[in-house]
Structure 1
């Protein structure tokens, strides 16, 4: 699944994570200020941010583009000489482009959040004092929002187009790799389905999960410092009292609670989803045999195989029922949590409408990013079931024992039993 597309996957991902962490930490602890040596200093503290799309052409952003390109180039050249791989242009440079595009997309949301402050303060002034704000002032701020939105739409379309091609290249790499070893893999139950369908589903699932994960990580990098700064307006939390970086503490604590809650509630689902693939495959395989062999797919056999399908689906429906109750309940609570903790501050009149809008947006972005597992858990369950099926290929190629269910199937097949217990 990974060695076909990435060079030395274990070492590659460890080195990518370490290099990325170093780049991010160095940026926050000196790299950003380093741009001043080249005439591209950070934005002065306390100065109002540049509103709208023009912010992406300012000196701090230009320095970031150079900084990012340097670290990507160094990482790419290292792997190009250390462990050349036929797909490294897509797996390294393609991944870097997706990361960059996602970061810019997140910065567009930061730009919208920066716009909310002056717009809603102006809005509050307009509805508080009649005639104090002209329609032209409000329209001018609306145009800034329109340009941000149009830029975001264009970036989204281009990114999704590229990601789709990126993922299909990954599927192509897996397909070529498995077919090169087909003679060793063909004896595994449902081998043809695993090469054709499971690689397709793996690629499609990774497209959604991968982009969502990158977006969550980039959102945290962009919005956590902003939420920390906004915490100065909310020094006290209900039931807890005064605490430094109160909003960061509340967002992280609430998200961890939700993640653990959903993981515990859905702990049985990956195994059931995997078994569902197995019983469906056994049923489908017997029907395929029955197309050419009149002695196969007899009513008693088909009835028994379909009974296994029915039993697994009904078990899956039961576990999804209480999982969805907990997931939906947490979603409803999450929608009002940030407003709930702001009630004492709002009642005391310590924040303006613009600041409240900025806090609500930043809190929601950070909270939803930390809740990546909550929102993506059903898709992660599906990916785990696909991974378990393709894991039989990996085990065969690595000379390891087959997973228990695959070994169990081969034992039953050798005894002439077609059903799947």
Structure 2
């Protein structure tokens, strides 16, 4: 068996799957920043030399929203794909964890690329809905001025884009499922490689079986939500800023010459996040404590399966009282947290309607612009409110991470074993492998 060097390491939850996690994620942020600088500075200058738009792009019709694959958009998608996968190349040679390269590096980039594609679909739909609702308003206000073919043509266009998007999302969901299972396997075998050091820790089996699964799932979901929120802001902020030209005055605030809707979305996000942080400050600790009392209760029941002297009614009653006591505390604190949460979420739905009130009653905007503002405001405000919307999930993640880090601290630095020696059959010491168990097959 190969022993790891006795130096501080990143948490196993990341090191087991990603190559040099600190360097990997740090370089990813730097690479993204560099790619964005290149795009916004010389992207248009190099487009004529590298873009496939002239061959793959669709023509732009004056007065109509641009097609999803117009010439410039093809260059944008081409650039994003190239930037993403070029980042993967060095890690094939530099990474210290090549076993999971295709999933941890290429898989991560692929999933992020799909998120970006989906954000672009949302941006295109925002323009499409604006044009479509203006068409409906014209048709309702002046009968027979819009032909049925024009109406059906609009629907046919969006149906084609959504069909492609649905196909991509289904494939991505399939990849996500495999991605999470690979990450869970990597974590599980990192811990199992050091099982002799941790097997006596309370709840050791739960940490490996349950927490690794939950951690990979939550981190992947939150990570994608962060990326999606940032991408949404990059795409939709200019859209909402431009639409704010139609709303230059806000009720109870007065004149806001520029970016009124953007400032409103930002203010509501800051207020909501601060509110949730204050009312939910006790929840991470309670969730962490809950896992400890649940683990103690479960452990006694497991011992009782093999030892008639364990899991006696008196002992079980006391253990369950600890579980019940902690749940009562959680219920109490979640009660006022949910009051603040649901009150703010429901109230914030009406912010854009209140902002557009003066423009609506004076007829200063069309139905299409009204719909565009609602959609763009929702996208931007949800992105700004990422922390607020994800607070309960973040609470759960913090408690899981605390448990796994506490679990890892029980493994002596000098005796840590590399997971590859445990998980990879090429390096396994067959003399220490337990006899294979018959596979458990789910009933059909």
Same fold per TM (> 0.5)?
A: yes
Distance 1:106 1:69, change over 3 A: closer
Whole-angstrom CA distance in 1 between matches of 2:42 and 2:63: 22
- Of the three residues 111, 114, 129, the one matched with 1:101 is 114
Alpha-carbon offset, residue 156 of structure 1: 1.9
Report 1:18-97 matches (<5 A): 18-38=30-50, 40=53, 48=63, 50-51=65-66, 55-56=68-69, 58-85=70-97, 86-97=99-110
Shift of 1:63: 1.9
Q: Whole-Å Cα distance in 2 between the matches of residues 137 and 63 of structure 1?
A: 29
Give the whole-Å Cα distance in 2 for the aligned partners of 1:113 and 1:96.
26
1:167 — aligned with what?
180
TM norm structure 2: 0.83
1:387 correspondence with 2:435: no
Say if 1:17 and 1:81 are closer, same or farther in 2 by CA, change over 3 A.
Answer: same
**Residue-by-residue CA offset, 1:372-406 (whole Å, 9 max, x unaligned):** 22222112211112111111233234749xxxxxx
Unaligned 5+ residue runs, structure 2?
Answer: 1-12, 415-444
1:223-372, aligned counterparts within 5 Å?
223-238=236-251, 239-372=253-386
Query: How far, CA to CA, are the matches of 1:161 and 1:126 in structure 2?
Result: 42
2:132 corresponding residue in structure 1? 119
**Given that residues 239 and 376 in structure 2 are in contact (C-alpha distance below 8 angstroms), is that contact kept between their aligned partners in structure 1?**
yes
Map of 2:10 onto structure 1: none
The 3-state SS of whatever aligns with 1:296 is coil
Q: Aligned equivalents of 2:79 and 2:307: distance in 1?
A: 65
Tell me which of 191, 212, 218 is aligned to 1:205: 218
Deviation of 1:50 (Å): 4.8
User: Quick one: higher RCO (CA 8 Å, sep 6+), 1 or 2?
Assistant: 2
Which structure 2 residues correspond to residues 210-225 of structure 1 after superposition, within 5 A? 210-225=223-238
Q: Which runs of 5+ in 1 are unaligned?
A: 401-421
Q: Distance in 2 between matches of 1:125 and 1:347?
A: 18
Q: Which residue of 2 aligns with 1:375?
A: 389
Greater CA drift, 348-357 or 91-100: 348-357
- TM-score, normalization by structure 1: 0.88
Asked whether the 8 Å contact 1:76–1:92 carries over to 2, the reply is yes
Tell me how far 1:273 sits from its aligned partner: 0.8
- Aligned to 1:209, the other structure's residue is in SS state helix
Give RMSD over aligned pairs: 2.4
In the TM superposition, residue 107 of structure 1 has moved relative to its aligned partner by 1.1
Question: 138, 152, 165: which one pairs with 2:165?
Answer: 152
How many residues are aligned here? 397
**Tell me, what secondary structure is at the counterpart of 2:14?**
coil
Runs of 4+ in 1 over 6 A off after TM superposition: 41-46
Native 8 Å contact 2:16 2:190 kept in 1: yes
Instruction: Indicate conservation of the 8 Å contact 2:352/2:374, yes or no.
Output: yes
Task: Summarize the Cα distance change of 1:323–1:191 in structure 2 as closer, same or farther, 3 Å threshold.
Answer: same
